Every structure is written in C-alpha cells, then in structure tokens.
Structure 1
C-alpha cells in the first residue's frame, strides 16, 4: 500500500479519476485529495481530504506529509502553472517519492502555445530529483460522445451524472474537435489519414491506477485505448449512424498559414501536430498490464450513437472554433 495524493481532482477529469480509483481501490492504497475547499462527500467515501492554499508553502508541505505519490490533475493556464510549480517544491521538501505532472496529451508540448505552461512544469519536474513520469494518452476518445442524446446508464447514475453525454464525457467539456458527431461533419488535419491514439477518460484513470503498482516509473508511460485516423473514425460513424458525412481536407501549408486566425490558433496548431504524429503515444502501460482491454473507437461510438435518429449531415464550420 502507498499513500497517493491527487491534486486538482475535485471537479472535471480529476474527479473522474478519483472516483475510478475509489471504485477499484478495495483498500489497496490510501487516497488523499488536496483541495482548495472542503469535500464532505468524498470524505464520507473514505478519501483523506486535506484543504490547502497552493500559495502557502508550509501548509502545502504539511499536507503532503506521509504521501508517497502525487498525481497532478490541475488544469491549464497561468494559475495552474504557479500551482504546479509550488507543488513540486513542496513535494521535494515533504519527501514525496514520485510525481506525475498534469500531462495527459500527446508525445510532447512543442508547437502548441497553450501548452507552454505544461512545458515549463515538465522541465521543472525533470530537474526536481523526484521520480517522475509523463502519462500520455493521445486524444480523449470521450469527445466522440459530444452531442449524444442517449440516456444516462446505471453506472452514470452512481457517479451522479444527469445525462448520457455527461457520463460519456466523464469530466471533460463538450468538444467538437475535428469531428462534429451530431452534425456529421469532419474538418480534417491534412487528408485525415494520420494515425493517432485515442483513450477514453475512464480507461486513462484505470491505466494510471494500475501504474501505482509499478516498482519504478520510467520517464514516459504511454497508454493506448485505440489507434485510428480521423478518416477511419468517420467511416465508423457513417456505419453506426447510417448516414453519409460531409468532410473537408486541409493541406498542411494552408493550416500553417491560418495558424494565427483569431479563435482558432490552438485548433490549427493541434491539427498540424496531429498530422505530424503528435498523438501516436507509446503503449508502455498496455504492455505492462496486458490483461487490460480498453474500449475501442468502434465500441465507444456504437455505445453512444447506435439507434440515434439524426438529420442529414450539414456543414457548420464555426463549431470548430475554440
């Protein structure tokens, strides 16, 4: 048993990870939540909730007393950057052994301006003296449920979800990225044939939970739910939804020229990186735990879109702006 502290897990994807840890834990590890606020519901479920102010170094060090592993799930932006950097310093002083920064994306943070804070945290992690790893999952498969009208299942009800879409997204926001599942349109990076890894949120959580059992973490721990191109995803959607999709290719030189378009900088930067193989993360955790059978794109799309009555596809380019 090790004491594992999750940071930034009161809401969103972090909370999904914490709830999955609770479901699979069976007293295997002691679960700690560092949170800016009290969490009586989680406290009642056996989580050791430790309220902290990330700008209060001594308080943060005290909250990490007896903690072996820290998993950061803090969101993006400048405030998150400051919080993670303070967290690393506190881990060093408190004697924490292992630390995983909030990564959960592609093979690196290069070429994506919004990930500049991730890059800075990663560099600080590597020089911290802590044992560390980068958990890489490619794209979030769960985005493929954006817009589903399917009802919530019993699993979702147990997790407090109010709709099937909320259950399928599992902590991530609604996101029409490249594909619009409801409209039936795809705005490909390049010709849409670049392979990429997609992993759903609960699968990511379970891979990370299993990684807690590893004696030593390597620098990178990739996980693969499935490997597909956007063209292959569209083919699956056409079969499951029973309609023809509208698709558009985007030559990479044109994407490069439009990379500074207002509201689309992140979108175009990520599409460029995807075409270069950014989402083809490794399968280290799949090899480490071969008994794990993560959900595939076919299974996920069938679960959340089969039997849904939809209009003929219509192009809505503005839905892709971020």
Structure 2
C-alpha cells in the first residue's frame, strides 16, 4: 500500500529538509499527511509549494516521546534522516525510532538513514558502520511479521552533486548547496583542483539533493517498496566529471591522483573520532570498488523524476 501519513525524522535540515520539501510538493495531489520530527520545536512548521508540515519536538532516546506523536498522527511511514558522529547515540536513536513505530498500529514502512552510498558496501568507512545495526533490526522485524505487513527500503543516491557548487560566485551562489553543508568533495571548482583515488576511473554516482527529495517523495507512492531503492542523477567516473568541470570553467584543473600508499600514509594511525579518516577511508573504498554500482538503478525507472545531470548542474552554477 502507498504511504499516506508520513513522519520525517531529522527533517528540519540537510537532506531531511529536501525530502520534506519533496513530500510537500506532492502533498495535495496525493492527500498526504506530513509531519517532521525534530529535537527542537518549530511553531511555524515547514512550508513549501503551498503546503505545510508541523515540526514536533521529540526525544530520540525516549520511545514514549516518539510513540505518542506517531500514534496521534496515525503514522504509517517513517523516514529517518538522522545523523551523528557519536556511534552509541546515533545507533540508539534509529533503534528507538523503529521500536516506537512498531508500537503504533498503523505503522508499516521504515526508511533508515542511508541517502548516500549503500552502507553495507563501504564497511571500511567507520562512520557508515554506525548504519549497519538498524539494517539487522529491520531484517529481523520483516522476518517476524506476516508477509506484506512491514516494508523497509534503503535509499541510496551516491554523492550529493551540490558539493560541486562550493565556492561559486553567483549572486545567490549559496543556493547551489541546498540545505547541505558547504564544502567540496574531492573536486574543488573554486580552486580548479581535484584530488581523487587511483587513476580517476573509479565509478561514482552523483545525485542533486533536491532530486533525492523528489525521488523519495515519489517512492512513497509506490504500492510496494523494494529493499533497495537506488537512484542517480548520473553514473560516471572522477575523470569524466573533471573533464566536464574543465569544459564548463574553460580551464585545466590541477589533479592529484592518489595511490593506495599515498592514502594510507595520510591516515591517522590512532583516530580519536569516527570522522578522523572519513575522506581517506572513502578513497580506499573507491579503490577497492566498494562504491561501484552493484545493482540496477531501479528508482529512476520506477518513478517519474527527471534528475539533473552533472553538466546541467555545473552550467547553472559556474561560468
């Protein structure tokens, strides 16, 4: 059954806000009820495309706090966009969110906080190890419940295309990032530089954050959720993206190609936090093929969303 009453956890910022806006864009067309769960209350809610979603404060470590809200709104679908760099708190928050949903009679769909590269493919990236426990819990719940009564889906979108907008000088250049943090990922167009793993022929999936919101919103109206819902604005390689950057900017980029030895030599031998070696861990994941496309990009075929390509994005934000 399609989703009708949807709660987005962590929907006030970053990719969560884009998903909320994607849902609000189709809210009236499909008569949806949308609520946003947040650690802090926002009385004005979130408004977009003529629709509004209330923002309700919950304690992500208190099941009763979440359960009361989900029950009040008779939520059938929970989309988690929670984030964090403290493993215990992040893992517990998603688990509590799921357990609260399972105590609500109307609940039947859950999307864990993926929205990047499939966390099971990049187990060498420590931050993504935090995403694995909820997947095991979801597998167990689905196995325990009667067929068709519970669905979960991992939404994977690769790298956010918006990071290619870092440092642009357009009058409203900040909008290139959407609601995401402002930093470049491996390719810095503002400095005309790139730093990539291996020979640059590693596969990479780029999807604009705004399009991720549209894809996920459209997926809520599918009758059946597949376990994997992969989307892409474009499947390419680092070298191909760099060539397009050079064409759009009209200048040759300074590109550093990192060997495995280069990467390992730069890694902290005693990381104090899960983010300490984050980018370098991803370099190794690309070298090992862990970021390659392992499955068909199914969501592009299942829903009617036309995502922006890398070239289209660059031409919008760069001279």
- Provide Cα deviations, 1:203-244, integer angstroms capped at 9, x if missing partner: 100000010011111111000110121111111111111111
Q: Please give the alpha-carbon distance, in whole angstroms, between the structure 2 residues aligned to 1:188 and 1:43.
A: 38
Q: Please give the alpha-carbon distance, in whole angstroms, between the structure 2 residues aligned to 1:151 and 1:279.
A: 35
- The answer for the alignment partner of 1:213 in structure 2 is 221
Any gaps of 5 or more consecutive residues in structure 1? 153-163, 307-322
Please list, as runs of the form range in 1=range in 2, the aligned pairs for 1:48-67 lying within 5 A after superposition: 48-65=54-71, 66-67=74-75
Q: Aligned pair count?
A: 293
Offset of 1:116 from its aligned partner? 1.8
Instruction: Give the secondary-structure state (helix, strand or coil) at the position aligned to 1:40.
Output: strand
Offset of 1:47 from its aligned partner? 1.5
Post-superposition, which runs of at least 4 consecutive aligned residues in structure 1 deviate over 6 A?
Answer: none
Change (3 A) 1:141 1:277: farther
Q: Please give the alpha-carbon distance, in whole angstroms, between the structure 2 residues aligned to 1:43 and 1:208.
A: 18
Whether 1:22 aligns to 2:24 is yes
Contact 2:21 2:213 (8 Å CA) reproduced: no
Q: CA RMSD in A?
A: 1.9
Q: Please give the alpha-carbon distance, in whole angstroms, between the structure 1 residues aligned to 2:239 and 2:43.
A: 46
- The answer for the alignment partner of 2:96 in structure 1 is 86
The normalised TM-score by structure 1 is 0.85
- The answer for the alignment partner of 2:146 in structure 1 is none
Instruction: Give the secondary-structure state (helix, strand or coil) at the position aligned to 2:191.
Output: coil
Higher strand share: 2
Range with greater deviation from structure 2 (52-61 or 275-284): 275-284
Offset of 1:104 from its aligned partner? 0.9
Whether 1:145 aligns to 2:174 is no
Change (3 A) 1:141 1:278: farther
- Provide Cα deviations, 1:23-76, integer angstroms capped at 9, x if missing partner: 232252110111222222226753243322222222211111111110001112
Q: Please give the alpha-carbon distance, in whole angstroms, between the structure 1 residues aligned to 2:209 and 2:171.
A: 19
- The answer for the alignment partner of 1:41 in structure 2 is 44
Any gaps of 5 or more consecutive residues in structure 2? 143-149
Whether 1:123 aligns to 2:136 is yes
Q: Please give the alpha-carbon distance, in whole angstroms, between the structure 2 residues aligned to 1:42 and 1:230.
A: 39
Range with greater deviation from structure 2 (139-148 or 58-67): 58-67
- The answer for the alignment partner of 1:160 in structure 2 is none
Contact 1:146 1:176 (8 Å CA) reproduced: yes
Offset of 1:198 from its aligned partner? 0.4
- Provide Cα deviations, 1:70-106, integer angstroms capped at 9, x if missing partner: 0001112233222111111111111310000100111
- Provide Cα deviations, 1:236-262, integer angstroms capped at 9, x if missing partner: 111111111111111224324443366
Q: Please give the alpha-carbon distance, in whole angstroms, between the structure 2 residues aligned to 1:127 and 1:168.
A: 40
Whether 1:303 aligns to 2:316 is yes
Q: Please give the alpha-carbon distance, in whole angstroms, between the structure 2 residues aligned to 1:189 and 1:183.
A: 18
Range with greater deviation from structure 2 (202-211 or 91-100): 91-100
The normalised TM-score by structure 2 is 0.86
Offset of 1:6 from its aligned partner? 0.4
- The answer for the alignment partner of 1:292 in structure 2 is 305
Instruction: Give the secondary-structure state (helix, strand or coil) at the position aligned to 1:218.
Output: coil
